[in-house]
Amino acid sequence: MKKIKFIFLFFILTSRLLAQETTDNQALQRILEGQLNQDIPGILLHIQSGSGEIHWSGSAGVSEKETGKKLLPDQTFRVASVTKTFVAASILRLWEEGKIRLEDPISNYLSPEHTQILSQDYDLEQIIILQVLQHNAGFFDHTHAPVFFDKVLQPGGHEWTRTEQLKLCVEAGEPIGKPGEKFSYSDTGYIILGEIIERIQGKTLGIAIEEILEFEKLGLQNTAFEGLNPKVDQARIHQYFQGQDTYLFHPSMDYFGGGGLLSTTKDLSQFFLALFKGEVFESPKTLEKMLEAPTYSETPMMDYRIGIYRIEVNGIEAFSHAGFWGTQAIYIPSLDLAVATNYSQIWKGRVPPVFGEALMTLNLK
């Protein structure tokens, strides 16, 4: 009789939990659908707790406006600058292995050609790896040059090289202060870090990062630099900029360390969880180093650490990175929760509204 009562109570409890999960999932789905408008044809979201109690992927809208093809939760997209978190983590892994020192000048690692180009405006002996990681090395961001987007948006696109982008940094702008003096976000700095990784590992960046961070071990089955994994490439959605379909934009515009990765919202969430759960670095002190806040004489416009920055979502501390094409991933330490989203076209504001609404729906305030 006791066994029958136990089974009955277990059934009732399980039914209630499943009902609650179904209700939460339906509410999350409605939130995604509420994000759609004429400018945002699709949205992807994954939310996952470290315990595994919360684990949900969803999508709404279409993956391509022209065909109206339905957007699926496991589709990939260009994560753009979220790649910087992977690049920074790779540099820190090399640091753990004793292959570099964060205090080393970048002149120790660059090719003679690139040293010659950058030395026209920058004292590379005075710029250290740590400053480049924190965006306070003083590099002008080559993507701010008007000619950059002129070439990106021209018919047929433009195929870039790292060398061409470094030249643009020197030719189109001036140094942003002295090394370490102030924060100034710069894609140029991270394409320099990309070269450092390549030269140390003797491999192209996409292959080197996947090996250094052990994507397979972390379960990142749908994350790869564009062009390296046919499965990941074929699942890529169409992403839009001011209404223009960017699908055929050449990936070299954002490929050498400032961006380059394709991923899914699930993989991004898993990576952020792994990062904070001690599965990426050998020592907990490395994550502490990654999250250490630089000091400046003036408050910077972004609380950027090493390849990641601090924000607040509904008043709760989170660590995050966003990407130009509409991607953002976060980890919330107090909730042990990772969330990633991709809007088919970039949202307005610092934090995508879907994050706050999802937390409210799950009563995670």
Q: Is residue 1 part of a domain?
A: no
31-87 residue pLDDT tens: 999 999 999 999 999 999 999 999 999 999 999 999 999 999 999 999 999 999 999
Q: State the maximum Cα–Cα separation within the chain, in Å, rounded to a whole number.
A: 86
Q: Token digits for 6? A: 């136990």
Q: Is residue 238 part of a domain?
A: yes
| SS3 state of residue 317 | strand
Q: Is residue 14 part of a domain?
A: no
Query: DSSP strand E in 219-344: where?
Result: 224-225, 240-241, 244-245, 261-263, 309-313, 316-323, 327-332, 337-343
Q: Is residue 75 part of a domain?
A: yes
Q: Is residue 151 part of a domain?
A: yes
239-253 residue pLDDT tens: 999 889 999 999 999
Residue 26 exposed, middle or buried by CB count within 10 Å (0-12, 13-18, 19+): exposed
Residue 8 banded pLDDT, cuts 50, 70, 90: very low
318-334 residue pLDDT tens: 999 999 999 999 999 99
Q: Is residue 357 part of a domain?
A: yes
Q: Is residue 327 part of a domain?
A: yes
Q: Could you tell me the residue range of the domain that residue 292 belongs to?
A: 36-361
Domains in the chain, number? 1
CB under 8 Å to 349, separation ≥6 — which residues? none
Q: Is residue 23 part of a domain?
A: no
Which CATH number covers residue 53?
3.40.710.10
